[in-house]
Structure 1
Amino acid sequence: MPSAAPPTSTGTTLGIMVVVVAALYFGQDILMPVALAVLLSFALAPIVIRLRRWGLGKIPSVILVVLLMFMVMLGFGTLVASQLVDLAQNLPNYEQNIRAKIQSVRGATEGGGGGVLDQATQMLKDLSKELDQATAPAAPGAVQSAGEAGRVDVLRPIPVEVHEPRPSPWNEIQTYLGPLVGPIGTAGMVLVFVIFMLLEREGLRDRLIRLVGANDLHRTTEAMDEAGARVSRYLLMQLIINIAYGIPVALGLWLIGVPNPILWGVLATVLRFIPYVGPVISSLFPIILSFAVSPGWTDPLLTIGLFMVLELFSNNVLEPWLYGSSTGLSPVAIIAAAVFWITLWGPIGVLLATPLTVCMVVIGRHVPQLQFLHVMFGNDPVLPTETRFYQRLLARDPEEAAELAEQAFPDKPLPHVYDHVVIPALHLAETDRQRDALDDEVQASIAEGVDSVIEAMDDYEDPKPEPEEDGEADPEDIAAAAAAVPAEAEPSRGRVLSVAGRNELDRASAALLAHLLERQGIKSETLPCQAISLRNLSKLDTSDVRLVCVSYLNAGSVQHARRTVRRLRGKLDRRIPIVVGLWSSEDDGPLPDDAPTLIGADRLETTVSGAAAWIGGMAGRHANIPE
């Protein structure tokens, strides 16, 4: 069995990336047709596979699909050419409308002594003429003559025209057909590559697996399938969206009266393959033409409104419905990819930007050394919600932290949000505190941020109750625990003390529990850890206390909790129950079996929701007992 390859260093990875980018730039004449062929192969392969499943052989299926593609492209080119010829023939007829609109704009800016535009233009002309006269040197051999008052007039040199001989027919052919040789050659190379890629699809796949992933077939197969599925889905959905956009464009322009609506509909369909810039370019031409065609301003405004409505409908309805997250790219990644590939390969790079970047993101997802590509360009959340929540608390931005908490579980009750967002975030803070990364001031700031979040979540609407989840208190357990506590220990009136165990972060977790109890109608008070210290415990007012809960974020605080419970027992009435909350995280292992006995509390809870449910159930059990 071959040994695992040693990890690649960052410098080696950057060096490989530089070499790859240089190869893409200098080898674009070869690599660009190959990339176009691969893209077309992704689009045509499903059709070839479908024809083969219907009983048509491999070679006939490929030939038929390529012929259909060629006929579609030929028909598209013929349609566009005919529409362009018709448009060019009719353009001189629109000159009068253009002049009328220019005159109307000038008339709108006219003041008392001529239009503002005319005055500004004439002033610029006068200044330019004065500058030319002041700085123009006398030409060699120019004749000077004396004018009035001793002024010397410089005679301008006589213009001389140079006529080149008429080019030969061969030179004219090269002039007109030369620019077409490159695109035609590239199209031919792409066609040849597409045919052979479709014919040798399985063989090329096996060779690629043998080249890059023979030692890890599972990961290689998963990466290839994911890349193929994403690119194929992107192309199919983009084609459907573009057609659904181009047809209304053509119909709308035809109803408005803009010439050649079919041309603009086809152009809108094709240019929408270019991210962001394509729709803008496709709308400029018909809008400008509507200004030239219409003698008034109604048709241009209708044309602008048509494109605005279609863009809003496409971006907010069609694309989220059909397109979704098929590419797995973030919007910033799409823009960055378009800039990168157009810099390397020009206009063709814009068409290839999204599919090629999709492949890069998939590679980054499955290759550890290139994981930064998936992090930078993918649309998956790179930070868990609790990490983002904690980061916002560190940045002293509790408003955004509250928004993150509300958006994390919109269909879950508030106790679930506290258990799965706020408490894990406080665990991250506790971890930083234990390694001395947070001083007292920052801890206090985080606790104040949690207080602000609690205030913002006060109007949080819980959804309808659902079956109890793991970690939440069982109703039978609540009833049994409540029955074990004497009824006289639970007066119908009183308050629950939610006390911090050791620091300000524990106080923030205690405030979460107090808030959940307040939402159940139970009067609660949050106290810092100093309130139950040896020095201050004697000053604590316990006259109307019905229950005390001590909160710890550090699940290893069993011994500290034992001492705290013993201290509270000496202060409180023996009938007042004491609950200890060791709010555990995913990284914490299970508590020792003897932890409840060792601590000596009446109840040991590991989740805020479970503690709130147990206390609330017990309070409800004793609330209706007559005094």
Structure 2
Amino acid sequence: MRTMRPTPVTDGPVTIPPAETPGLRGLLSLAVAVVVISALYFARDVLIPITLAVLLSFLVAPIAAFLRRWYCGRVGSVMLAMALPLVVLLGLGAIIGTQVTALVREVPAEQTIIVQKIDMIRHATVGNFNSFVKQAGKELQHAAAPKAEHHSADRAPPPERVSVVPAPISPTDVAKGIIGPMLDPLAIMFIVFTVASFILLYREDLRDRMIRLFGSTDLHRTTTALDDAADRLSRYFLTKFLINAGFGVVVGLGLFAIGVPGAILWGVLTALARFIPYIGSFIAAVPPLLLAAAVDPDWSMAIWTLVLFVVGETVVGQVVEPMVYGRTTGLSPISVVVAAIFWGWLWGPVGLLLSTPLTLCFVVLGRHVERLEFLDVLLGDRPALTPVETFYQRALAGDPDEALDQAEVLLRDRTLCGYYDSVVLPALRLAAGDAVRGALYPGQLDRITDTVAELIDGLDDQVDSEKPVRPSPAGTDQAGTDQVGTDQVGPPAVPARLVMPPRGQLAPVWQGEAPVMCIAGRGALDREGCAIMAQLLARHGIGTRIVPHEAAARTHVASLDMDGIAMIFLCYLDIAAAPSSVRYLVRRLRRASPDVPIAVGFWTTKADYERYGDFQAAIGASLYPTSLRDAVDQIMAQAIATAQVAPVESRSADHEPEAEEHVFKLGLPLQPGAA
């Protein structure tokens, strides 16, 4: 039997209100975005060196701080710290130049093998088709050649001999040819190192100016944002540089052992290419793989090269980086890919290398600057919705499979009771509030109830097991609460986790199949709360009979079957409109069965409890659990308490103190008529 649920009255099909027309503020934001992107594109020749300098300063800052602690002075520590990347770059440039020269000299010596491999691949793919086309072309030329020769024999002018005299090359031209291509990279390097040096020299002054610019009225938040950004970027760059350098060394040594020409060159390019997210290693693997396939008479060198890159990238990406970075760098995978595409389009290859650190900067700003919070939502790896909101959304969509998937993930670190307390009940409160306001259109409420029913059925084999209890510093046992992330309030969870004794040792009234009667409130989803309560009690060996609210109405309460009931439990998701109706319901149940204790469970919020602080005295019930965990423990305590006073002959003498200890810790009085 289903309870009557309040549904909004609608005269026609439900329509979604149109979106608001963008105002002046939205248009200004769009114009600012267009101007910023245009400036980034047209000013890239200036912005790229400055950006590289800022990121280089983050990379070198830990080294400079370390040298300064060893009394090198501000200027000396910065000069020594900047000399290290300069030496590395010059060394890499020399190595790359030497390797390219050696490769240019070595590859022509393998020309015969390369030609043979190209011919082999050509014949294996399109050789037959090319032969057919060539033969057809010859036949056509043969058919048209006599006529063409006959008509053009008298008109063809005599051939003229043409000779090209090369112009003399001056020393100035040679110097321009050598130095010209190097001017732009040298100028960029000079700008990068100069700006980075001044950033390191005056980093305290720049920090104070940033604080003044972004939030002098909130020094705590601004300082936290700057420290977070600096720490994240410094750690990311340093660890990324070390990992990529190590991977490049491994690849270079591996290619040298395999015998691929230019092994050191490919190792350096692999280390640089790994800064490109996800596809950098695969891009770096293409040139050495093609070269190995070309210079080796067979295919063994190419196969070993492929194995080297696949195994190396798998180990580094799946083992080394998670151990060094942790589980994540703070960016979602889709944002990394989109950022790589955007910055690659905007700034070219340099943008590809800088895409991840620049995106990381934006995510940090979004986490600490309120007006930029959308950047954290779009680019960060934190869930966009809380577990409560996620469950409610999936219930609205009528998707119990995804709700069960979420439950399986959350149940890894919490109990079944804790999951219901912290996720499902708050989501049901949201749904009940929307139903009262008329925000749910017809059919959505049924989807929610069906989703909850399938969720309960899917979790029917889940055990409500508790984590081991750690003793507190005072020496008493205290159990932690399961209500992580919820605003449920009330007495803390029972310190000692109780274990139900065999049914034969309980009082006769608790030995029935359903000693607890759970009566749902008048709310739209109170019956689902009763179903959850029944499942939890069943996990601990206590049966429950669920009764709709109409069965306890004034005209039906006299016919309510109270046979074999040891406790009555009233379940409400909302307290706002409940106290008066609950008080009358408790009175009717008291008159119908005066010896049965009554518990009233309000699964509500802290604000409601503060607003209705004196409702308990007015209701007059026996127990007032404020969470599912509290309700299960109190009902189990009642059953164990009746087992303690019941005349059970099989109970041993050493069992009685244990039961007394449970009752003492719970602090719950024995209710009249429970035995």
| TM-score bracket for the superposition, by shorter chain length | 0.7 to 0.9
Structure 2 residue corresponding to 1:582, chosen from 602, 605, 608: 602
Instruction: Give the structure 2 partner of residue 275 of structure 1.
Output: 277
CA distance in 1, matches of 2:599, 2:31: 59
Read off the aligned partner of 1:619 and give its amino acid letter.
A
Q: CA deviation at 1:75?
A: 0.8
Instruction: Give the structure 2 partner of residue 407 of structure 1.
Output: 409
Matches within 5 A, 1:443-522: 443-461=445-463, 462-466=465-469, 467-469=478-480, 471-474=491-494, 489-522=509-542
Q: Which runs of 5+ in 2 are unaligned?
A: 1-23, 470-477, 482-490, 500-505, 649-675
Question: Normalising by structure 2, what TM-score?
Answer: 0.79
CA distance in 2, matches of 1:410, 1:182: 56
Q: Tell whether the 8 Å contact from 1:36 to 1:190 is kept in structure 2 after alignment.
A: yes
Number of equivalent positions: 595
Relative to structure 1, the CA distance from residue 535 to residue 284 in structure 2 (aligned partners, 3 Å threshold; closer, same or farther) is: farther
Q: Is 342-351 or 295-304 further displaced after alignment?
A: 295-304
Relative to structure 1, the CA distance from residue 500 to residue 237 in structure 2 (aligned partners, 3 Å threshold; closer, same or farther) is: same
* RMSD of equivalent CA atoms: 3.6
SS of 1:410's partner is: coil
Matches within 5 A, 1:611-622: 611-622=631-642
Relative to structure 1, the CA distance from residue 460 to residue 299 in structure 2 (aligned partners, 3 Å threshold; closer, same or farther) is: farther
Q: Tell whether the 8 Å contact from 2:244 to 2:274 is kept in structure 1 after alignment.
A: yes
CA distance in 1, matches of 2:158, 2:519: 101
CA distance in 2, matches of 1:193, 1:576: 81
Instruction: Give the structure 1 partner of residue 353 of structure 2.
Output: 351
Instruction: Give the structure 1 partner of residue 473 of structure 2.
Output: none
Read off the aligned partner of 1:76 and give its amino acid letter.
L
Q: Deviations over 1:305-363 (max 9, x none)?
A: 22222222222211111112674222222222222222221111222222222222222
Q: CA deviation at 1:451?
A: 1.5
Relative to structure 1, the CA distance from residue 244 to residue 118 in structure 2 (aligned partners, 3 Å threshold; closer, same or farther) is: same
Instruction: Give the structure 1 partner of residue 127 of structure 2.
Output: 118
Instruction: Give the structure 1 partner of residue 429 of structure 2.
Output: 427
Structure 2 residue corresponding to 1:370, chosen from 369, 372, 375: 372
Instruction: Give the structure 2 partner of residue 602 of structure 1.
Output: 622
CA distance in 2, matches of 1:444, 1:299: 64
Structure 2 residue corresponding to 1:290, chosen from 289, 292, 295: 292
1:561 aligns with 2:582: yes
Q: CA deviation at 1:611?
A: 0.9
1:184 aligns with 2:186: yes
Q: CA deviation at 1:541?
A: 4.2
Q: Tell whether the 8 Å contact from 2:432 to 2:525 is kept in structure 1 after alignment.
A: yes
Q: Tell whether the 8 Å contact from 1:144 to 1:154 is kept in structure 2 after alignment.
A: no
Structure 1 residue corresponding to 2:318, chosen from 316, 319, 322: 316
Instruction: Give the structure 1 partner of residue 73 of structure 2.
Output: 57
Structure 2 residue corresponding to 1:36, chosen from 52, 67, 72: 52
Instruction: Give the structure 2 partner of residue 113 of structure 1.
Output: none
Instruction: Give the structure 2 partner of residue 80 of structure 1.
Output: 96
Q: Which runs of 5+ in 1 are unaligned?
A: 1-7, 110-115, 137-142, 480-485
Read off the aligned partner of 1:196 and give its amino acid letter.
F
Q: Deviations over 1:449-502 (max 9, x none)?
A: 1121122222334354434345554369999xxxxxx95644454342323212
Read off the aligned partner of 2:619 and give its amino acid letter.
I
SS of 1:498's partner is: strand
SS of 1:601's partner is: coil
CA distance in 2, matches of 1:159, 1:348: 53
Instruction: Give the structure 1 partner of residue 108 of structure 2.
Output: 92
Relative to structure 1, the CA distance from residue 475 to residue 50 in structure 2 (aligned partners, 3 Å threshold; closer, same or farther) is: closer
Relative to structure 1, the CA distance from residue 210 to residue 596 in structure 2 (aligned partners, 3 Å threshold; closer, same or farther) is: closer
Q: CA deviation at 1:577?
A: 2.6
Instruction: Give the structure 1 partner of residue 228 of structure 2.
Output: 226
Question: Normalising by structure 1, what TM-score?
Answer: 0.84
CA distance in 1, matches of 2:193, 2:495: 70
Q: Is 225-234 or 198-207 further displaced after alignment?
A: 198-207
**Identity among equivalent pairs (%):** 39
Q: CA deviation at 1:78?
A: 0.9
Relative to structure 1, the CA distance from residue 267 to residue 406 in structure 2 (aligned partners, 3 Å threshold; closer, same or farther) is: same
Relative to structure 1, the CA distance from residue 106 to residue 179 in structure 2 (aligned partners, 3 Å threshold; closer, same or farther) is: closer
Read off the aligned partner of 1:284 and give its amino acid letter.
V
Relative to structure 1, the CA distance from residue 395 to residue 94 in structure 2 (aligned partners, 3 Å threshold; closer, same or farther) is: farther
Q: Deviations over 1:363-386 (max 9, x none)?
A: 222222211112111222222111
Q: CA deviation at 1:154?
A: 14
Q: Is 295-304 or 66-75 further displaced after alignment?
A: 295-304
CA distance in 2, matches of 1:237, 1:290: 31
Q: Deviations over 1:208-255 (max 9, x none)?
A: 333443343333222221111111011011122213322332333333
Read off the aligned partner of 1:561 and give its amino acid letter.
V
Q: Tell whether the 8 Å contact from 1:596 to 1:603 is kept in structure 2 after alignment.
A: no
Q: Tell whether the 8 Å contact from 2:421 to 2:627 is kept in structure 1 after alignment.
A: yes
Instruction: Give the structure 2 partner of residue 241 of structure 1.
Output: 243
